[in-house]
Structure 1
């Protein structure tokens, strides 16, 4: 990617008004995403057919007039989407060139089995190769997710340590990592888990060199503005919030209460969209969804 384009994307993500659309449902979450969109499993007979159907859904979202760079700062893609075109243009390039939306790529390969109350990421084979491909296609940053289910100090430390270790590899490849240690919204001691998480994140941030920049994607916290220290840290480009299973209304309400956090919603963004809608109905529903998430992200 040209240095000029990277600088423009950095400025947009750092200072722009809006939110990041998470369009990165992968193999495990795709059937559910399609089912919510009104496409049943009987409508495909192979993974390739399934991914083609979800690409049609994503293409409909991204090409909608409601989906624009005035309200959407960036979009997170799944690797399969990166390898496909939108209106004859490679997906990541379409986002930036046609919509002025900054492209990100999900790079993790899913979650390991739960241990110490958390799920760390599975190993990511040939990450350097994937990062090289992403840069070549004009991708700005990456996203990778772990999950915290209990306030277990050892478990949370292992999640954060792994995230930052891989994050430094991503930075070295010239991309900006979104570090996502999700706290499960059903965690029985969620506030305690968030206290341990913030402490671990700040410790890792303080070890970074001045030029090593990261983004954070965090569950909306129990205490309003709890991640203010992270938002203001010099190594943090932006802190974004995941909806984590909350409805769009709940997620927006919580986001309003957390100033300078912006949304990076997946299910809450696509809530109400259906394959059976006419284009007018689809675009109107998407526009209302984007408008409400944009407003909550500007608090």
Structure 2
């Protein structure tokens, strides 16, 4: 583990950018960017286009360590290069931004009111490659739709089981049990979720550290006590379908919670913009998300 990166994530002012749209969500991300599905003939052409989009974001003067602590990458992005350097190396060496990797393979079907992560039979091989590529930590997402304690417990158990495997490889896992922002039971879900998270955190060893990634809670500062847990390096929030404006407003109310936005970060960016227009829009978004993360 890179101790300089650990200290930056633990104490730095800023937020984590999520640039980790995977195979299933890439067409939508490209469409929002103004690239239609008929612009590419196959998956490889699609991944080339999305890497160009991510490269444009990362190389922008607006995307810098003054505002951004870390960036979450998709596996395909980790294996590609920017200006001759692997993406993670470019982020850290050229930008001072800590690289993370999305490791889950998507969501299983809905059961007990939740969607667990699909099996990851090749996770160890991926983690070894991540270490070789100088990745600092990982991210994996589950999804909770109902206040079903059995289902929520399964989500948290699976997250921490995989998290331990990641910790053993010397990486820091981002535990992400997303709560459906449209659920009528959102507040009840979050109450159960926090109880299960506290239970699992109590089972970690002294040197086992995690980052928690949560939906912005219905009750302001609801996760504040989790920040006091010695195993929690940071708590970050996903935008979860909120517009950038709504996500920023809700985030700003929660002390200690910083952003890890994906779609809300890229809101308003399009393929057809000039570099000046693109950088200006990205700078405006980054500064807004930073303010909501840091200046409470």
- Aligning the two structures, in what range does the TM-score lie when normalised by the shorter sequence? over 0.9
Deviation string 1:196-244 (CA, Å, 9 cap, x unpaired) is 0000000000111110000000000000000011111100000000000
Number of equivalences? 295
How does the TM-score come out when normalised to structure 1?
0.98
Question: Among 116, 123, 131, which residue is 1:127 paired with?
Answer: 123
Counterparts of residues 30-45 of structure 1 (less than 5 Å): 30-45=26-41
Question: Among 285, 294, 297, which residue is 2:290 paired with?
Answer: 294
Question: Among 113, 117, 129, which residue is 2:109 paired with?
Answer: 113
Unmatched runs of 5 consecutive residues or more in structure 1: none
**Residue 206 (structure 1) aligned with residue 223 (structure 2):** no
Question: Among 244, 250, 253, which residue is 1:254 paired with?
Answer: 250
Give the CA deviation at 1:135: 0.8
Counterparts of residues 185-204 of structure 1 (less than 5 Å): 185-204=181-200
Question: Among 229, 235, 245, which residue is 2:225 paired with?
Answer: 229
Counterparts of residues 27-176 of structure 1 (less than 5 Å): 27-176=23-172
Give the CA deviation at 1:114: 0.3
Residues of 2 paired with 1:39 and 1:185: CA distance? Answer: 28
Q: Counterpart in 2 of 1:238?
A: 234
Residues of 2 paired with 1:166 and 1:281: CA distance? Answer: 41
Give the CA deviation at 1:88: 1.1
How does the TM-score come out when normalised to structure 2?
0.99
After the TM superposition, which segments of 4 or more aligned residues of structure 1 sit over 6 Å from their partners?
none
Deviation string 1:43-64 (CA, Å, 9 cap, x unpaired) is 0010000010000000000000
Residues of 1 paired with 2:277 and 2:57: CA distance? Answer: 12
Residues of 1 paired with 2:112 and 2:44: CA distance? Answer: 36
Unmatched runs of 5 consecutive residues or more in structure 2: none
Q: SS at the partner of 1:245?
A: coil
Q: C-alpha root-mean-square deviation of aligned residues, in Å?
A: 0.5
Residues of 2 paired with 1:284 and 1:216: CA distance? Answer: 31
